[in-house]
Amino acid sequence: MKATKWLLVFIGAGLLMGCGSNGGDPGLTDPGSPPPTASISGTVTYKGIPMAGAKVYAWSTNTNVVVQTTATDVNGNYAIKGLGDSANVPQEYQFWVMKPGYGFFPSVGGGATIVRAGMNGQFAGLNTQNPPIVFTVIDWIPPLGGTLDAANFKAFDGSNPRVNIAATGQSASYASGDDGALRKGTAWPASRFSDNQDGTVTDQLTGLVWLKNAGCFNPTNWDGALTDVNNLSSGQCGLADGSNAGTWRLPNLGELESLIDVTSANPALPPGNYFENVSTGVYWTSTAYWGGSSGSFEAWAIRLGDGGYVNDGVANLMATSQNAVWAVKGGRPGATALQATGFTVPYQEGDDGTLQVGVGLTYPRWLDNGNGTMTDTMTGLIWLKQADCIAQTWAGALAAISQLTSGQCGLTDGSTAGSWRMPNRNEMQSMSDRMQTNEADYFDYTILNLNNTVYQPAIFSKFMPYHYYWTSTTYAANTSEAWTVFSCDFGVYDQPKANTGYTLAVR
């Protein structure tokens, strides 16, 4: 199993004390008050209940070390004092929380931000070519003597998921235990789309508001697509909604994916004439493909003819590919919320790395239950840890999963036949973190401290690289095929059901 090493340095705050007494000598001057320092405080809760014993870390980005740690008290409160401020040299700190069995997500008021921070380049000994460790942190640049209150964290263990995954919409069943038979996920509203009669359409499932005219803009490269959408305003493209430039955005990968109806083709959208001028070609998303290939820069795109992802290094090149453009903006909450893609690197104004819209990802996200299963704190789904155990045709894999029990595939969880299922397209996609260049490597990677102790065990065991993993969702354009997720890029691609592929099991 692959491994790399990193270093955490903990520095305790010391108090320097004088070793003598001046005996009240009036000839000695008062040294005066010490210079002001910065402090941060907040509360950690789990389902609204204070969490004691959670460890809070204060990391200095100036020195790349943890400068202080503390633990929450019985009321879930913590405080870190004595931090250097920005009186002379700007100081920047990042804060996160850890406690076994939980993932965390922060909240904070003005004066600080919530960011995802990649730690590869910061921790000594960690090869930056290896899968990145990405924390979700509070980032703060304290002013002179500054204080930051209400720097709070919520804990998640899977029983309180941050998002509920929407159903794919597939209703026809092609085999026992498939997507059409089980129909897992949040059901679509009976009337999913509403025409607002102002050039916009609201999706009641996600709450997103879409430009009704999906073909208003000419095909263009990625930069052009972002520029066109960023400048969109009322009076253009049939809009009469009063929107100004900057209101609209190019959809990220999760947002464009949310429109896909896996029962439809040409286009792969829910039935009904809600949109105009929809192309069956390739549409850009605002999500860059992290790392590109062969020195190029690429962005994710989706082919609306069938709903397949495009990441081929030909049709998704930022600079030269000419793809269709659609626009979206936020609306009211829908039946379900979309999680953020996880991508954080900004390339251009209005892209996914800049805006990072959606429900933010927890850290740590994955919890090892010690019984052959992993819990995703974002979705609450429980996954089979051994990722190479089931490798069959689509129908064979469905049958094998239906009979999966404790004692097989490394399971000691007491599960019985019928407890597990093959993940549908949306469930499999929910695992992705678009900051990972190779998801299979990331999932199968053991991270070691410099003293050879394990910092993070492999999330899954033997997650096979460069292989297609089945989903239970049939490909509507050709029902002899099913949707798969490619383990490297976690793109969605159709494959013949007669092929042999790996599959995870979920419940």
* 264 and 327 part of one domain: yes
Name the average pLDDT for the chain.
90
If one counts the domains in the chain, the total is: 3
Closest CA to 102 of 363, 322, 315, 354: 363
**CB-based contacts of 415: which residues, under 8 Å, 6+ apart?**
404, 405, 406, 507
pLDDT score of 82: 93
Domain boundary among 156, 174, 195: 156
Its domain, for residue 301, covers: 187-335
* 71 and 146 part of one domain: yes
* 274 and 141 part of one domain: no
Q: What are the tens digits of pLDDT across the range 321-342?
A: 999 999 999 988 999 999 999 9
Kindly state whether residue 202 falls inside one of the protein's structural domains: yes
Angle, vertex CA 424, rays to CA 419 and CA 425, nearest 5? 160
> DSSP string covering 361-378, please?
PPBS-EEE-SSSEEEETT
* 203 and 299 part of one domain: yes
pTM: 0.90
pLDDT score of 35: 59
CATH of the domain at 114: 2.60.40.10
* 235 and 326 part of one domain: yes
* 204 and 88 part of one domain: no
Tell me, what DSSP letter sits at residue 301? E
Kindly state whether residue 340 falls inside one of the protein's structural domains: no
Domain boundary among 134, 156, 178: 156
**Neighbour count for residue 223 (Cβ, 10 Å):** 15
Kindly state whether residue 26 falls inside one of the protein's structural domains: no
Domain boundary among 133, 156, 179: 156
Kindly state whether residue 360 falls inside one of the protein's structural domains: no
* 89 and 49 part of one domain: yes
User: Looking at the predicted structure, is the pLDDT value of residue 20 above 90?
Assistant: no
User: Looking at the predicted structure, is the pLDDT value of residue 207 above 90?
Assistant: yes
Tokens of 230: 């960023």
* 241 and 321 part of one domain: yes
* 198 and 302 part of one domain: yes
* 119 and 230 part of one domain: no
* 392 and 488 part of one domain: yes
Tokens 């009322």 belong to residue:
234
Average pLDDT value for residue range 253-271: 96
DSSP helix/strand/coil, 19: coil
User: Looking at the predicted structure, is the pLDDT value of residue 21 above 80?
Assistant: no
* 209 and 121 part of one domain: no
